[in-house]
Structure 1
Amino acid sequence: MSVISPEMICGGCNSSYSACALSYPFLYYACGPVVLVHNLADRQTKIALQGHKSQVNCVSVQNEYIITGGSDKKVIIWKDFNFYKEIAMSDNVLYISTCAELIAIICSDGTLTIFTIPDFVPSQILSFKKSLQETCAFGSWNDLFLATAGVDARIHIYIKKQAEFVYAGSLEGHIRNIRGLSFRSTSEALWLVSGGQDSLVRVWKISAEQEKDEISGKGAYNIGNYFCKLDAVLNGHSNLVCSVQWIDDTILTSSHDFSLILWHEDITTNTWSPKATFGQLGGNKNIFIGAVGDNKRIVAYSYSGGFYYWFDNNGKWVSGEAPTGHFNKVTDIWVKENFALTCSLDQTCRLWVRNGSYWQEASRPMVHGYDINGITMAGNQLISAADEKIIRMFDASISTAEILERFQIQMSAVNRGSSQVLGLTTKSINDSEIDVKSLPLTEDLLNSFTLWPECHKLYGHGYEVCVVTASHSGTLLASACKSQTKEHAKVFIWEIASKQRLQSLEFHTLGATDMAFSPNDNFLLTVSRDRIWCLYAKINENYELKVSKQVHSRVIYTCSWSPDSEIFATGSRDKKFKIWDLNGELIKNLTFPSPVTASCFVDKNTVAIGLEDGEIKLVNINNESTIASMAHGDTVSKLKTHAGRLFSISSDNTFRIYLLPSLN
C-alpha cells in the first residue's frame, strides 16, 4: 500500500494572535487542527503537519524546528516537516516564543514554561495565576532577557542568572491588555517594542547602569543591573494593536483597525513616523489578527482567515497573491473538468482553477450570511443550500468570466454581483469599480469583486436546507432539509429551467444526509439519518421508489454511484461500507476502523472511502485490498474524482487535490 501526497492543499488561517510564522520561502500557518506550509516562491501548499486533535493556536520557527501549540493542551515539535516530539502541557497553549537555545510556552492557566533546545525538557515554570500573560519575547544584550505581558497591562522583565530567569522589574504605561512584544539589540542598547489594546505602540530602551545619571524622569526604571526608559510612544492605529515586530531598524505593527504600519526613526530628530502603511484605514468590517515579515516581504492575516501579501519591488511595496482557503469546516464540493467549487461553514463558496503547476482560488461566488451546507451547479448556475429554508440560485458573474479567461476557461455570464446588507443576498449590477482582467487575485478582489448575482429563490422546505444535488443533464435538482419528522423529511425534485417543483418524494422519517443521481440520470439514491437508503427509478419522467432497505445500524452519511450506473454504495457511522446492485442485493460489505463519512467511485472496480478519523482509503472492491491511503487532520466530508484526480474536503478546514496512481 502506498501513501499519496497531495498535489495541492488550500486552507485559511485560524483567528488566533500567533497563528503564523515566516521563514522565507516558507509561510507556516495554523488551519484548524493542522499546520500548513506554503511556499511563497512557487505559490504552492503541499505540506500539512498533522498531529493536533483540536485547533492549533500558535506557530513558531526556530532553526530547523517548527513548534506548534493548540487547544488540545499539546506542543508538537516538527523537524524536516516530520513529527519529532510531543510535549503535554497543563492547559491550552496560547503563545510560543523562541530564541537560539530556549522556548517559552504560555498556557491559559497562567503558567509560562521554559524548555531547552534541542532536548526540549522543562527548565523553569513561571506562574502568573490570575494575571494571565498573553505574549512574551526573548532578547539578548550581555545577558539573556525574557519579557512577558498580558491582561495586567504591565511588561515583566526577567534576566537569566545562571540556570534560571530572575524577576528584574516591571514596565508600566499601557492601560489595557498588551498583545505584542519584540526585542532588538544594538551595540549601544537593547530595544523593546510593545503594543496592546490601548492602540498605542511603545518603544523602550534598556541600557547599561552607568547611563542612569543621564536619564531621569517619568518612564524610567531600574531593571536589575540595567536601566530602562520609555523612548517613544507611536500613535498611528485607531484600534487594538495585535502584533509588533522589529525588522532591522524598523517596526512592523498590525491592528484591528485593518491596517499595518512600518515605522521608521529619523535619527537626526529621534522621532518615529510611518515609512509605509498597508491595508485599509477606516470604513471596513474586517480586522487584522497578526502580521509577520522581513525586509523584503510582509504577510498579514485577518479574522476571516485570509492572507494579505506585500513584497518589495525595487523599493516599492507591491501587493501580491497569497494563499487562500476556508477558515471553518468545508461542507461540500462540486467538480467540473477544469475547475472546482467548495463551500463551508465560514459562509463562503469558492471557485478553484489550475494555474500551471498549482491550483488557486479564482472567484468567490458567495459571501453569505448563513453557514453553507451544500452546493451544486447546473450549466453556469450555482445552487446553494444554507442554514435557511431557501434554496438560492446564482448566475455566473462577468468578473469571474473575465478572470477565467486567464486560464483558458470559457464561461457565459451576466452582470456582476454586489453584496447587500447582512450578506443575505447578492444583487446584480451593471458596472464595476475596477477592471479585474489583469489584477492579482488578492483577498480584497476575491471578496468584493467576484461575487455572483443571485437570480432566483426556491421555497418549500420547512427547515434549514442541508443537501442539494443536480442531475448530470443539468435539468433537475433534488433537495432536502434538516428534519426530525416524516412530514419535513421529503425530498423535493425541481425543474431548473422553470424553477418549479415537480415531485415530493416521501419515505424517509428523518432528514436526508446525502443524495446522488446516477450518471445516466435514470436513478436517484438518497440516504438518511433514519438509517434507510432509498433507490428511485425514473419512470415516465417521474422518479418512483424502486427499493429501500434499512441494513445499517447507525446513521448513513454517504452514497455514491459507479461510472456505469450499475452499482451504488452506502457508508455509515456503523463503520460499514456496502455496495449494492440495482435490485438492492448486497454485493460487498467492507468494515473500517472508523465511521465512513464520504465516498466516490474512481472506476467500476475502485472506490475512494473517507473516514471520520481523517483517513482516505483507495480500495479495490474485487479483492477488498487497499491500494493507497491519504489523510486529513479531521473528518473527511466529501470526495469527488475527475480526470485522474481525487478532490477531498474535510472538517480540518482544508480542500485537497491528489493525483491518483494508474489503476490499470
Structure 2
Amino acid sequence: MNVSTEYISIGGNRNPAAADWDTEGHQLLAFGADNAIALWGPLDNVHRGVIQVLNGHSKAVNAVKFFSTGSSSKSILLSGSADHSLRVWRCSGDTVEFEHIKTIVEHQSPITRISTLPGSDVFATGASDGTVKIWKLTDSDNFLDLDVELLQTITLVPKFFPLNIALASLDESSIILAVAGTRSTIQIFFSSKNHFNLVTNLTGHEGWIRALDFTRETESNDSDLLLASASQDKYIRLWRVHRGEELPAASSALNDPALGILGNDAKYSLTFEALLLGHEDWIYTALWRHRAGKLQLLSTSEDNSLAIWESDPSSGVWVCITRLGEISAQKGSTTATGSAGGFWIGLWSPDGNCVVSLGRTGSWRKWAYSSSEDMWVQQVAITGHVREVNGLCWSKDGSYLLSTSSDQTSRLFAQWKHGDRTSWHEFSRPQIHGYDLNCIDSVTNSQFISGADEKLLRVFDEPKGVADMLNRLCRIEPTSANLLDAANIPVLGLSNKAIQTVDDDEQVSMANEDEREAMDPASVVRKSTLDFDHPPFEDHLARHLLWPETEKLYGHGYEISAVATSNDGTLVATACRASSIDHAVVRLYDTKEWLEVKPPLKAHSLTVTSLEFSPDDRYLLSVGRDRQWVVWDRSKDSSFSLALSNPKGHTRMILDALWTPVERTFLTAGRDKNVKIWQISEQEVHLRATISANSPVTAVGCSRQIIDDRVVFAYGTESGEVGLCNVPTTALDQVEVFKIAANISPAKSINQIVWRPKREEDGKQQQLGLASDDSSVRVFNITIEKKTV
C-alpha cells in the first residue's frame, strides 16, 4: 500500500510566541499546534495548507523561532514547549522535510519565548522559572553538524515570567537584550564579551508587557535602534537607543533618572520616543518591518484588529495608516459565539507585502497588499480545531467530510475545484455550541446529527446558502430543493435558528412589533454576503455559515457517547455515558417523525462506546466499556432484539467496532491492544483473527469496497499509530499489516477512522479520514497495489 497525505487541518495555539515566518529558506510559517509544530506556506498559490506536522514535544508548544542561516536552501527551527524542552529542527534541500536534530532540557519550567539575532550565532530563551538563558548555536559547514552551547543564565530579579525577549546588535562586539513579561517594567541588559549585565529598567507601562521588538531606524547599520513595547494597558511605547553622550533634542530623558547615558566603553542614551494610541484592548504582538523605504510597525490586539503604524514624515508623529480585522462595534451578538476573541499573533511576510494573524478559533487570516488598488485585500488562509477532534464522518455520497470536537464546533471540509486544481478547505461551520461535542453522523447528504455533553442530540439541515456555495466552488450538486436560507444563534442561545437572506437593496427594520425590543442585527444576512468565488474566510465561517437546527432528541440521562445512522437513513441509534445498566441502553429514533422507537435496547452495563448498522441494515452492532459486544437483529417492524453477544469479547474495554463488506463479519478494537475479526454463521460467532498492536486500539475503520478479493481496514491506537490491514475474503485469518509512517501520523490518540465512500472520479485510489486528540483532521490517499502471484 502507498500512503500519502492529502490534507491536514489543525488549529494554532493561542500564544503570541507560538508562530514565526521564515525570511530565508522555503519562507514557511511555523506555528505551535497542540503538542506539535505545523508548517504552512502562506505564499503558496496552490493552497496546499499545512504541509508537515512535526511531532516530538509531550506538551503544548509555546514558542517557535526560525534561526537565521543566510541560505536559501537551509532552514533551522527552534521550538520551546511546556514540557521544559528546547528542540532544534533542520530542513535542507528542495523538499520541505524537517528533521529533529537535538533536544535540550535546561529550563526547570515551561519555555515561554525564544529570540534570535540575525547574523549572529546567539539566541535566547525565557521560561516561567524566572530565568533567561543565552545560547550559542555552533555548526560545521552548511549546518550539517549542529550543537548548542549554554553561555549564561540570567535570573530575573524581582522574579517574573519573561513573556518577551528581544535581541539587537549595539556594535561589532556588544548586544542589547530587552526582557519583559508579567510586570510593567522592561529590563535592559548590555553584553560585554558575551556576558549580559542589567543596565536599566524602563518604566511607563501599566500592565503586563506582551511584545518587544528592536529595529534600526533606517536600513543603515549606523542609525539609531528603536524598541517597540506593547502591553495589556492597550498602549505601544517606542524607545530610542542612540550612540553617543548627547541626548536627542526631543528627549524627555533629562526629566527621567531611569533613562539617560548607559554603557561601559561606548556610551549610549536610551530615551522614550513615542506613545501609540488606538487599540481598545490588550495588545499581543508588535513587529517592525522596513517596507517600500518606510519603517512600519504591525500590531495585533484582543480588540479583533490588526494595525500598521508609520511615522508621519512632516510631523514625526506615529499614526495608524491601516487597520484590518473587525470593527469593535461588530463585537458581541453578531458572531455566533460572541466576540471573535481577538488576534493573538501578527506576522509580516518576508517581503512585507502580506500579513497574517491568528485568532481565538485557531484559524489564520491573511491579507496581501494590492499596489493597483493601494489597499490590503483579504485572501484564503487555513483553519482547524483547537481541541480534541472526537467525531468524524463523510456525507452519504462522500462529497464532503464533517468533524466535531471538544472546541465546541462542528466543521465541514470539502475540495475546492478551481480550474484544473483542487485543494481542501473548511467550507462551513454548521454548529458552534456551548458544550463539548462528542460524536457525529450523516443522516442524508444534506442532514447530520451530533451528540454533546448536554445529554441530547441535535439534527441539522443544510441551508441554501451553503448548498449553493458547495455547488459553485466544489461542484457538489444540491440534493434537496426545499432548503432554508441560512441560520444564526440568538444571543444567549444554543439552538441554531433558521433565518432568511435579504437582497442588498432591501430595507430592514431593526425594531420588532414591540418597539421596546430591538432586533438582533445578526438575524439579517444579505444575499451578497454568501456570494463569493473562493473558500470562506474565518469571518464568514464564524458568522454566516451555520446550519439551521431542525430537531432535538431527548431521552438520555448523561453525556452522549455514540451515534450511528442506518445506511438507508431511516433510523438513528444513540448511547450515553453510563455506570449502570439503566443508562447503558441504546435508544433508536426514526428519522421521519424523529420519535423514539421503544423499548430501548438493554444488554450493556457500562458506557456504550460505538454503534454501527450492518451494510444491509439488518443488524446493529454495539460495544462498550463492559468488554462485551452485542449484535441486535432487526425485525420487519424495525424493532430490534438481542441476537448474539459475547460478554468477554476482549479482556479490556472495547472502544470501537464496525461491519466489513463481507457478509455478517465485523471488527472490534479494545484497550487490550487487539483488533479482532468475528464472523457470524448459523447463529454462532467465530473469532477468525486477532491483530495485535503496540498500544490500546482506540479506533477502527473499514472500506466498504472489496478490493482484489480483499477486505481493507485501518486501526488507530492511543499513541497515534495507524495500521493498514488487508485480508483475503476467503481466508480471514491471513491478515497483512502495513504501518503508516510515524512522521505523517498523529501524535496522540486516534478517535475515529472513516473511509470515503467510493466515487467514480476516485479511480483506484481510496481516501481515509482520521480524527485525533492532537486537534487534527487528516485525509490520507491510499493506493492499494494489485497482488501479483
| TM-score normalised to structure 1 length | 0.97
What one-letter code is carried by the residue in structure 1 that aligns with 2:384? Answer: G
Question: Does residue 1:165 correspond to 2:204, yes or no?
Answer: no
1:298 has 2:335 as partner: no
Which residue of the partner structure matches residue 16 of structure 1?
A: 15
Counterpart contact for 2:457–2:553, Cα < 8 Å: yes
User: What is the CA-CA distance between 1:33 and the residue it aligns to?
Assistant: 1.1
Q: 1:632 and 1:318, CA in 2 relative to 1: closer, same or farther beyond 3 A?
A: same
Q: Assess if the C-alpha contact under 8 Å between 2:612 and 2:621 holds in 1.
A: yes
Give the equivalent residue in structure 2 for 1:409: 476
Determine the structure 2 residue equivalent to 1:335: 394
| 1:322 and 2:381 correspond | yes
Matches within 5 A, 1:6-45: 6-23=5-22, 25-40=27-42, 41=44, 42-44=46-48, 45=50
Alignment of 1:564-575 (within 5 A): 564-575=662-673
Query: Match for 1:598 among 699, 718, 730?
Result: 699
Moved more, 358-367 or 85-94: 85-94
For residue 52 of structure 1, what is the aligned residue in structure 2?
A: 57
- Give the superposition deviation at 1:437: 2.3
1:308 aligns with 2:365: yes
Write out aligned runs for 1:18-417 (5 A).
Answer: 18-23=17-22, 25-40=27-42, 41=44, 42-44=46-48, 45-63=50-68, 64-80=75-91, 81-88=98-105, 89-100=107-118, 101-118=121-138, 119-128=147-156, 130-142=159-171, 143-185=174-216, 186=218, 187-212=222-247, 214=249, 215=251, 216-219=253-256, 220-224=259-263, 225-248=267-290, 249-283=295-329, 284=331, 285=339, 286-294=341-349, 295-314=352-371, 315-336=374-395, 337-355=398-416, 356-379=421-444, 380-405=446-471, 406-411=473-478, 412=480, 413-417=483-487
Determine helix, strand or coil for the equivalent of 1:563. Answer: coil
Q: What's the CA shift string for 1:407-464, capped at 9, x where partnerless?
A: 1112233221011223511110012234312154100101111100111111111112
Q: Residues of 1 paired with 2:402 and 2:260: CA distance?
A: 58
SS at structure 1 position matched to 2:328: coil
Counterpart of 1:388, as a letter, is E
| 3-state secondary structure, aligned to 1:211 | coil
Q: Point out where structure 2 has 5 or more consecutive residues left out of the alignment.
A: 69-74, 92-97, 139-146, 332-338, 502-524, 728-732, 759-765
Deviations 1:43-77 (A, max 9, x none): 21221111111211111112311111111111211
Please name the residue that 2:529 is paired with: 435
1:501-540 superposed Cα distances (whole Å, 9 cap, x missing partner)? 1131011111111111112211111111111111112222
Bigger proportion of residues as strand: 1
What secondary structure, in the 3-state scheme, does the structure 1 residue paired with 2:492 have? helix
Q: Which residue of 2 aligns with 1:616?
A: 722
Deviation by residue 1:470-518 (Cα, 9 ceiling, x = unmatched): 1111111000111111101110111011111113101111111111111
Deviations 1:17-65 (A, max 9, x none): 2121112642211111111111221321221111111211111112311
Secondary structure of residue in 1 paired with 2:5: coil
User: 1:270 Cα deviation (Å)?
Assistant: 0.9
Structure 2 residue 614 is the aligned partner of structure 1 residue 577:
no
Specify every segment of 5 or more residues in structure 1 that has no aligned partner in the other structure, as ranges: none
Is the deviation greater in 123-132 or in 105-114? Answer: 123-132
Deviations 1:92-112 (A, max 9, x none): 111111123122111111111
Once the two structures are overlaid, the 10-residue window that deviates more, 493-502 or 125-134, is 125-134
Rg larger in structure: 2
Deviates more, 1:172-181 or 1:19-28: 19-28
Q: Is the 8 A contact 1:369 1:424 kept in 2?
A: yes
Paired with 1:316 and 1:610, the residues of 2 have a C-alpha distance of 47
In 2, the alpha carbon distance for the partners of 1:420 and 1:27 equals 37
Q: How many residues align?
A: 663
Deviation at 1:641, TM superposition (A): 1.0
Residue from 545, 550, 574 that aligns with 2:642: 545
Choose 496-505 or 16-25, whichever is displaced more.
Answer: 16-25
Q: Percent identity?
A: 29
SS in 2 for 1:447: helix
| Residues 475/569 of structure 1: CA separation in 2 closer, same or farther (3 Å cut) | same
- Give the residue type in structure 1 aligned to 2:377: V
What is the Cα deviation at residue 3 of structure 1? 7.7
Deviates more, 1:590-599 or 1:276-285: 276-285
Report the Cα distance in structure 2 between the residues aligned to 1:612 and 1:635, rounded to whole angstroms: 4
Which residue matches 1:465? Answer: 560
Corresponding residue SS for 1:553: coil
> Letter of the aligned partner of 2:696 in structure 1?
P
Match of 1:419 among 489, 506, 509: 489
CA deviation profile, 1:235-263 (whole Å, cap 9, x unmatched): 11111111110011101111111111100
Paired letter, 1:156: Q
Q: Distance in 2 between matches of 1:513 and 1:102?
A: 52
Which range moves more in the overlay, 377-386 or 3-12? 3-12
Check whether the contact 1:266–1:272 (CA below 8 A) recurs between aligned residues: yes
CA 234–522 in structure 1, closer or farther in 2 if over 3 Å, else same: same
- Give 3-state SS (helix, strand or coil) of 1:334's partner: strand
2:754 aligned residue: 640
SS of the residue corresponding to residue 404 of structure 1 reads helix
In 1, Cα distance between equivalents of 2:276 and 2:198: 27
Q: Report how far residue 134 of structure 1 moved.
A: 1.1
Q: Distance in 1 between matches of 2:4 and 2:164?
A: 36
Q: Which amino acid aligns with 1:43?
A: H
Amino acid of the residue matched to residue 30 of structure 2? Y
Structure-2 separation of matches of 1:166 and 1:459? 66
